[in-house]
Amino acid sequence: MNVDLYEKFWMWAAAGIVVVFIASIGFTTFGQAIQPPSHIETIDPQTVRSDEEFGQPGVTINPDGSATVVVQAFLFAFLPTEIRVPRGRPVTFRMTSPDVIHGFQIVQTNGNTMVVPGYVSQFTISFDRAGEYLVVCNEYCGLGHHNMYARLIVEDVVAAAAGGER
């Protein structure tokens, strides 16, 4: 079998690229212990509803003016269904699920995470614009998935301090 010189060149180049990719993945994984970014915190999915933090989901306004929002995602709803947070302040969302994988996406923002049973998902975001945002589940979680949504209301600091604390 006669293989043309140019074909040999491209076969060796392709094999070389594959070797470089595998070597770089192995080096970063094992040599540098680089893991996917995550807030690794676990929770027993069977005790989510009775957990000290997640048993009473809601919004807490911290002394520095930031907010912490605790959310439960379960078939086919978010708790709380209405979330009120202050505008222009950091808002930390902490969430978990007792049943299946869900998504948590704040539409028209970059707030988006997966909610995995047994893990606590967390991200922090600030809202520059007051108003109402839609929160949807963007991971298919079952037949009622299309009904899984919540409302996020971003208020001026004065209005948020008056109500919405848990």
Task: Tell me if residue 127 is catalytic.
Answer: no
* In a domain? residue 109: yes
User: Does the pTM of the predicted model rise above 0.95?
Assistant: no
One domain for residues 68 and 148:
yes
Domain count for the chain, please give it: 2
Task: Tell me if residue 27 is catalytic.
Answer: no
Sequence-distant (≥ 6) Cβ neighbours of residue 37 within 8 angstroms: none
**Residue 151 CB: number of other CB atoms within 10 A?**
14
Note down the domain range covering 13: 1-35
Q: Which listed residue (21, 30, 74, 123) is catalytic?
A: 74
pLDDT tens track for 78-129: 999 999 999 999 999 999 999 999 999 999 999 999 999 999 999 999 999 9
* In a domain? residue 146: yes
pLDDT tens track for 12-48: 999 999 999 999 888 877 776 666 555 578 899 999 9
One domain for residues 74 and 155:
yes
One domain for residues 26 and 97:
no
CA angle 80, 82, 87 (to 5 degrees): 115
* In a domain? residue 7: yes
Beta bridge partners of 94: 70, 122
Please give the pLDDT value at position 62. Answer: 94
pLDDT tens track for 123-162: 999 999 999 999 999 999 999 999 999 999 999 876 544 5
